[in-house]
Amino acid sequence: MPVIHKSYHVTKNDFIHAGEASIHVKNLLKSLNYDSDLVRRVAICGYEAEMNLVMHGGDGELSVDVSQSKVVIEVTDKGPGIADVELAMQEGYSTAKDEYREMGFGAGMGLPNIKKNSDEMTISSEPGSGTHVTMVFFCKG
Amino acid sequence: MNEANGSPRHCFIHFEQSMCSGCGLCVKRCPTRAIRVRNGKATIKNSLCIGCGECIRICESGAITASTSELNSLNSDKITIALVSPVLYSQFPGVLPRDVLQGLKNMGFTHAVDMSYYFEMFQWATAEYISRNRKTGESPWPLISPVCPVVLRLIVCRFPSLLPHVHPIMRPVALMARDVMTQFKVHYGVDDQDIVLYYINPCPSKMGIPKKELETAGTSADLHSTGALGINDIYGELSRQIKHFEKNDKIPFAQAGFEFEQCTSGGGLLWSMTGGEAEATGLDKILAVAGLNETITYLEKIELGLFNDLEYIEFRTCREGCIGGALNAIDKYLAKSAALKMAKTLGVGTRLNRERVLRLYDNNWFFPKTTPQALKTMGIQKERTFSFDELRMIEKIVGIIDGKNCGACGSPDCRTFAEDLIREEAAPDDCVYLKIRGITMDDILMRVKPEQDKD
């Protein structure tokens, strides 16, 4: 099955460019005439994942594979990892620094939002060896 | 006027071919990539034009103008009414707004109606809508102001998923046109066709908009009989009229016969500038964004789910707001200074009775017959989308060109040129990078055809 693959580098603490990868992905899907609800969900999840890289993950990669039946986003970083993944998935749980919270980020909604807006989500993380998040979005029809 | 894609849609912009130098500045500037240079002249795909006026601003040879209405009913026996955007006052520093309205009457308009009354209506209704929907949690947040028509069309064209965010209250100009039409029909005891409305404003995108689009854009059907005049169309004649009666004894302003014939408040003038609408609405979680690039950036971000803690965003695609509209007569900073001074002189405050506005609100007076979502199906089109294989081909063609987005081909950038190739609207020879290497369409197709051939 033909797949369009794109990959983006996301830099730690770079709030200025955070979101650009998601905007690219969003516009790619739009030009393919994907359902606007799917585009919206991909955009929201992509952005949350990007912000996680900017705030927690250190430098990381966001890659996307687009095929006719589904969109898969993989996010990988070599950051500190997550000690308790189950806890991190809870709404409102956040380890964001105060300075990020003052900027209006780090409300503890990132991972829960990804869970809510994607069709499938897997997360694996070990303290010290980074985090890997995969999200899948299925196209209707 | 060009119909590059054969669309019957009316265009906001007129290209005078004989004056066009084919420089391509407008091609690069257009936010919806609607313009191309073909055979040395600029042509526009009308179905993609959102009427922002950026091409008018950037054109150095004066070949691009707005399509405005003919002012031909002033001397007829029709009742001719000027609907006045307060931006007009800012074009005459030091002149009182009521004198500007009197100048319009001296030009031959039967009535000149100021718009600020309807701004107040709109802002009351907006505050009411938001407070009610905040309680119930309804509506996607933030709401997007429907006031700037270019923003509406930009959303249809590039951000259709944001249509549910468009604030569903009718735009002030629509409220005005409907109300003025209704009241004058009763007053004079005449029919629709005996009254001609002219909307005097600085915006190319309000010119002769198709009726259907108006109905759905939160505007009333009554606007179909409305012509539109650019401020720069009437500036010369209006200046002469104002100078004339300023020199002679001032004519006392006729007692306002209708409530809405009262002149502007300072608030009306503030509306003509960025932030004016936001300020007037009196909401807490509100943002004012002006400028085309800024607007696009924010719309991109709203699509990422940002700003949903805000209630309302005022967007204006023109720098400094409507006062920076493409069809103004004087410089936007001079106009801004004049408007701020006049707003101070007139004072800012509300004049309307809130009880009455609430009654109208509960009678659905403020709500259009159709929702903004219906815009999607008419008039403005999205850009043509591509199939999966086509998109992969486009990606590969961009790689083959390996160019510098020079625009010499007549398309805005290499990617759009590759799209134009796929759409069969351009030839490889148009691109200097392909031409010097002698690459033909057959070569390209050989190299980019998807692996599994379907034909």
C-alpha B62 chain-centroid distance: 21
Q: What is the CATH number of domain B388-448?
A: 1.10.15
Domain count of the fold of chain A = 1
Q: Which residue of B has its CA nearest to A47?
A: B304
Q: Pick from A2, A43, A113: which is nearest to B450 by CB?
A: A2
CA distance B391 to chain A (A): 7
Contact state of B450 with A31 under an 8 Å Cβ cutoff: no
> Is B160 in Cβ contact with A36 (below 8 Å)?
yes
CB contact under 8 A, B303 and A40: yes
Residues of B in contact with A51 (CB under 8 A): none
Nearest CA in chain B to A37: B161
**Which member of B303, B309, B383 has the closest CB to residue A43?**
B303
Domain span including residue A107: 4-138
- How many angstroms separate the CA of residue A85 from the nearest CA in chain B? 24
Return phi, psi of residue A72, to 5°.
Answer: -120, 125
Q: Is B8 exposed, middle or buried (0-12, 13-18, 19+ CB in 10 A)?
A: exposed
DSSP 3-state of A136: strand
Chain A nearest-CA distance from B303, in A, is: 6
State the pLDDT at residue A45.
92
Give the CATH number of domain B13-66.
3.30.70.20
Q: How many angstroms away from the CA of A44 is the closest CA of chain B?
A: 5
Q: Establish if B305 touches chain A: CB-CB under 8 angstroms.
A: yes
Decide if B450 touches A, using CB distance below 8 A: yes
Contact criterion met (CB below 8 Å) for B108 and B238? no
Q: Does B423 touch chain A (CB under 8 A)?
A: no
Q: If you measure CA to CA, which chain A residue comes closest to B296?
A: A23
Q: What is the pLDDT along chain A (141 residues), one digit of tens a residue?
A: 667 888 898 888 788 888 889 998 998 888 888 888 889 899 999 999 888 888 887 788 899 999 888 999 999 988 888 888 788 888 877 777 777 777 667 777 788 888 888 999 998 888 888 888 999 999 875
A54-58 contact pairs (CB < 8 A, 24+): A54/A10, A54/A11, A54/A12, A54/A13, A54/A14, A54/A15, A54/A18, A55/A96, A55/A97, A55/A100, A55/A105, A55/A106, A56/A80, A56/A95, A56/A96, A56/A131, A57/A10, A57/A12, A57/A130, A57/A131, A58/A12
Amino acid B373: pLDDT: 64
Rounded alpha-carbon distances, angstroms, from residue A35 to A23, A52, B60, B279: 16, 26, 41, 36
CA–CA min distance B388, chain A (Å): 7
Taking the Cβ of residue B377 and every Cβ of chain A, the question of whether any pair is shorter than 8 Å is answered with no
A37: which chain B residues are within 8 Å (Cβ-Cβ)? 161
> Is the predicted ipTM greater than 0.85, yes or no?
no
Cβ–Cβ < 8 Å for B78, B240: no
CA B420 – CA B12 distance, rounded (Å): 23
Round to whole Å and give the CA distance between A11 and B320: 34
- The CATH number for A49's domain is 3.30.565.10
Q: Do B391 and A22 touch (CB under 8 A)?
A: no
From chain B, pick out residues whose CB is under 8 angstroms from the CB of A39: 161, 303
Given a cut of 50, the residues of chain B with pLDDT beneath it are 1-9, 208-224, 256, 453-455
Cis omega (within 30 of 0) for bond into B142: yes
Residue A47 to residue B304, Cβ atoms within 8 A: yes
- As a dihedral over the C-alpha atoms of residue B295, residue B297, residue B299, residue B301, rounded to 10 degrees, the angle is -150
Kindly state the DSSP code that residue A35 receives in the 8-state scheme: -
Put simply, whether B429 touches A (Cβ < 8 Å) is no
CB contacts < 8 A, A to B, total 56
Residues 6+ apart with CB under 8 A from B297: none
Backbone angles phi, psi at A7, to 5 degrees: -140, 140
Nearest CA of chain B to the CA of A56: how many Å? 19
pLDDT at A52: 86
Contact B161 A39 (CB under 8 A): yes
Question: Distance (Å, rounded) from C-alpha B238 to C-alpha B244?
Answer: 10
Query: Residue B251: its pLDDT value, please?
Result: 54
Q: What letter would DSSP give residue A128?
A: T
Q: Which helix (H) or strand (E) holds A53?
A: none
Q: Do B161 and A32 touch (CB under 8 A)?
A: no
Is A2 in contact with B388 (Cβ distance < 8 A)? yes
What residue in A sits closest to B302 (Cα-Cα)? Answer: A44
Contacts of residue A67 in chain B, CB cutoff 8 Å? Answer: 388
CA distance B389 to chain A (A): 8
Q: Are A131 and A81 in contact (CB under 8 A)?
A: yes
Residue B399 contacts A, CB cutoff 8 Å: no
- How far is the alpha carbon of A75 from chain B, nearest alpha carbon, in Å? 17
Closest CA to B322 of B256, B259, B271: B271
Q: Does B390 touch chain A (CB under 8 A)?
A: no
Instruction: Measure B62 CA to nearest chain A CA, in Å.
Output: 33
Cβ–Cβ < 8 Å for B204, B153: no
Contact residues, chain A, for B306 at CB < 8 Å: 19, 47
Token representation of residue B350: 């509300």
Classified as helix, coil or strand, A42 is helix
Q: Given this model, what pLDDT does residue A136 score?
A: 93
Residue B165 CB: number of other CB atoms within 10 A?
22
Indicate yes or no: CB of B304 within 8 angstroms of CB of A33: no
